[in-house]
Amino acid sequence: MMIEKFTIKSKEKINLNDFDPEYTDQLSKDSIKEEHLKLQTKFEELQDVLYASKKFALLIVLQGMDCSGKDGTVKKALMGVNPNGFNVESFKEPTPEELGHDYLWRVHKAAPQKGDITVFNRSYYEDVLVTRVHKIIDDETALNRFTQINKFEKYLVDNHTVVIKFFLHISKDFQKKKLESRLEIPEKHWKFSAADLTERKFWDKYQQYYEDVLYNCSTEEAPWHIVPSNNRWFRDYFVLKTIVNNLEKLNLNYPEIDGNIQDLIKQVKDSD
């Protein structure tokens, strides 16, 4: 798969129009079924050895417009995840206590410990996106934050946290259809917020500032992945494959046991 094309290189200028949200690499849902099942099994194995070895942590950052499918990615792409050692942190509007601190304070607190996987459903990137769209911060502050964020991520990586960042890329028309369907299905009404309609008016601004983020905050340690997300099955496949690729690179091994195995087995056998 052409994951490479969607992995943004450091200082690669981005125009989101060059990335088709409908893209599926000429694959179909059926054609990848078998590979997808293998990826799920592989992911379960890798999570187990990650958890057992306690050498690395994995942080997955999910960003995207409303209706891009952040919740769905957690539920579907990571299906089969062992909830032991797996966390999802959803960052909403900051509380007064959080606002009293610097913007990385609350996310750093929620970072995974070694052995664990944590998904940030929205993240510190909102502090250079929604805040910028609504002019809570100016361009200079945004630029400073890009540097701070890059340094923060480098620090995490240097301390054995793998950081994988996904931008779930959808079209404006796709968002409209999703908003409609949320209103048409009573069981989905709760997912609709009038604020989504307001934010939709800022679509172009968001896209522009996302391009800025993708350009400024793709580093060698922690590049952004643009995920074509109009087709949910492709999104799930892409995300899972990227995670598996990254975990495989770690060459994880199960830890050895302290002491002599035969002695220990004998002790167990001889116990009451």
Closest contact distance (angstroms) between CB of 85 and a copy of itself is: 8
SS (H, E, C) 229-261: CCCHHHHHHHHHHHHHHHHHCCCCCCCCCCCCH
By C-beta, is 50 or 128 nearer to a copy of itself? 50
Q: Which residues form the interface with a copy of itself (CB under 8 A)? A: 48-49, 52-53, 71, 74-75, 78, 81-88, 90, 119, 121, 172, 176, 179-180, 183-184, 186-187, 189-192, 194, 197, 200-201, 203, 254-259, 261, 264-265, 267-269, 271-272
In angstroms, give the least distance from the CB of 93 to a copy of itself: 15
Separate counts of helices (H) and strands (E) for the chain = 12, 5
Q: Which CB, 140 or 190, lies closer to a copy of itself?
A: 190
Q: Smallest gap, in angstroms, from Cβ of residue 117 to a copy of itself?
A: 10
Q: Which residues contact 140 (CB under 8 A, 6 or more apart)?
A: none
Between CA 160 and CA 114 the distance in angstroms is 8
Laid out side by side, the sheet with 117-121 consists of: 86-90, 117-121, 57-64, 161-169, 224-228
Question: Taking the complex as a whole, how short is the minimal distance between the CB of residue 167 and a copy of itself, in angstroms?
Answer: 19
| Residue whose C-alpha is closest to residue 227's, from 9, 18, 19 | 19
- Closest CB to a copy of itself among 12 and 204? 204
Decide whether 118 or 161 has the Cβ nearer to a copy of itself: 118
CB of 236 to a copy of itself, least distance (A): 14
- Rounded to a whole number of angstroms, the CA Rg of the chain reads 21
Q: Which is nearer to a copy of itself, 106 or 154 (CB)?
A: 106
Angle formed at CA 222 by CA 107 and CA 3, multiple of 5 degrees: 125
